[in-house]
Amino acid sequence: MRVGLVGWRGMVGSVLRERMQEEGDFEGLEVTYFTTSQVGEEGPVPGTELHDAHDLERLARHDVVITCQGGDYTEAVYRPLRETGWDGYWIDAASTLRLDPDAVVVLDPVNAEVIDAALERGVRTLVGGNCTVSLLLMAVAPLLRRGWVEWISTMTYQAASGAGAAAMRELAEQIRRLGAGFEAPLSAADASPLDLDAVTAKLQRGGLPCDELGAPLAGNLLPWIDRAMPGGQTREEWKAQVECHRILDLERPVPIDGVCVRVGTMRCHAQALTIKLHEAVELEEIEAVLGSAHPWAEVVPNTREATLERLHPAAVTGTLQVPVGRLRTMLQGSEYLAAYTVGDQLLWGAAEPLRRALAILRRRAGAGGSAASPAAELAPSGSAAP
């Protein structure tokens, strides 16, 4: 199978290559590396050359094009490439084509049958879902599938790497400067805690680079992600309901809304959920349903010890586990469920569904493209560990 890889050096592309290497996915593939900025330079594999990612004729030589380059690239290249008559598979991390009727959004642990049905229909465009939405569904999709949910409010805590490689570098630089600022107050025996606070505020109000993030993120949080939408939502917030329905192909609309917040973590998105059920369900039953959803589901007991051990970015980063915890009935009533979930947005929220989409296509190609190799049967893999 000939595969063209675009966007391989960005945040998502780097994790995708790492995971493909870990799982041995490159074996048997003929891979061409494309670039938008480094044409002619050496690719990530010694001896490979980088080709122009806008060269339609070269892209069209591939059975599969995987792009983690971003929405502008997809806007510029996808239609013209299709118009050349190319009917290969396009696998994409960007949001551009997620609502396209000719595309399917891939998250096979929760929508394998939707993917299979789409491939049987001849769909050849497979798109990864929004990172926060994918992680939300990895955590609570069984409740939606069972029709138990009246609505969900999700308040998110999203890492800097969700905004790409440059944002991550900027956060690291902000942290470095804050760290340097703390040197003097931490070394002075008589320093007051207020000195640390003063250093932080001074640097945040003018001493940190903010070109990418728009404001200081180190020691801070920013309640705005992506552009404004009508009605006061940001686009990140708007995606929650729209994409959940698209991924699960839900018949009954379920309102899903909240506030999306960028926090000064490097990797992993967390979400505090309020889930309104149509009627009360025993907590034990909810835990059993969530914990058995797929091989990476994990219910964390609602204790301090378990929460601090397993339910935060530092514990989860670099792994495929999607723990959900802090589960309890709320004071508002027995149909109100509180939950908190965290997952690595660069894995299930970005690279992993793309990697597995390619695996699904390879299995189908191996089985002559028939339904004999459905996504639903793809063996769970996933040893991604820190």
**Residues acting as catalytic residues:** 131, 269
- Report long-range pairs for 226-230 (Cβ below 8 Å, ≥24 apart): 226/260
Question: In this chain, which stretch among 24-32, 164-172, 210-218, 302-310 interacts with ligand NAP, using CB under 6 A?
Answer: 164-172
Nearest residue (CB) to ligand NAP, 11 versus 273: 11
Question: In this chain, which stretch among 23-31, 163-171, 327-335, 356-364 interacts with ligand NAP, using CB under 6 A?
Answer: 163-171
DSSP 348: I
Q: CA 332 to CA 214: how far, in whole Å? A: 37
Q: Is 43 in the site for ligand NAP (CB under 6 A)?
A: no
**H or E element, residue 183:** helix 165-187
Nearest residue (CB) to ligand NAP, 170 versus 337: 170
The interface mask with ligand NAP, positions 6-25, x = CB under 6 A, is -x-xxxxx------------
Q: Is 35 in the site for ligand NAP (CB under 6 A)?
A: yes
Q: Give the nearest distance from C-beta 32 to ligand NAP in angstroms.
A: 14
Q: Is 162 in the site for ligand NAP (CB under 6 A)?
A: yes
Angle between helices 165-187 and 11-22 in degrees, nearest 10 = 100
Q: CA 11 to CA 313: how far, in whole Å? A: 17
Q: Give the nearest distance from C-beta 194 to ligand NAP in angstroms.
A: 36
By DSSP bridging, strand 30-35 and strand 125-128 are unpaired
Q: Tell me if 378 sits within 8 A of 116, measured CB to CB.
A: no
Q: Is 349 in the site for ligand NAP (CB under 6 A)?
A: yes
Q: CA 199 to CA 212: how far, in whole Å? A: 22
Which tokens is 98 given? 């997620």
Nearest residue (CB) to ligand NAP, 240 versus 299: 240
- Report long-range pairs for 74-79 (Cβ below 8 Å, ≥24 apart): 77/53, 78/125
Q: CA 49 to CA 43: how far, in whole Å? A: 5
Q: CA 17 to CA 351: how far, in whole Å? A: 9
Q: Is 70 in the site for ligand NAP (CB under 6 A)?
A: yes
Number of residues that bind ligand NAP (CB under 6 A): 26
Nearest residue (CB) to ligand NAP, 343 versus 349: 349
Q: Give the nearest distance from C-beta 211 to ligand NAP in angstroms.
A: 13
Nearest residue (CB) to ligand NAP, 12 versus 141: 12
Q: Is 322 in the site for ligand NAP (CB under 6 A)?
A: no
Which residues of the shown chain bind ligand NAP in the complex (CB under 6 A)?
Answer: 7, 9-13, 35-38, 68-71, 93-94, 131, 161-162, 164-166, 345-346, 349-350
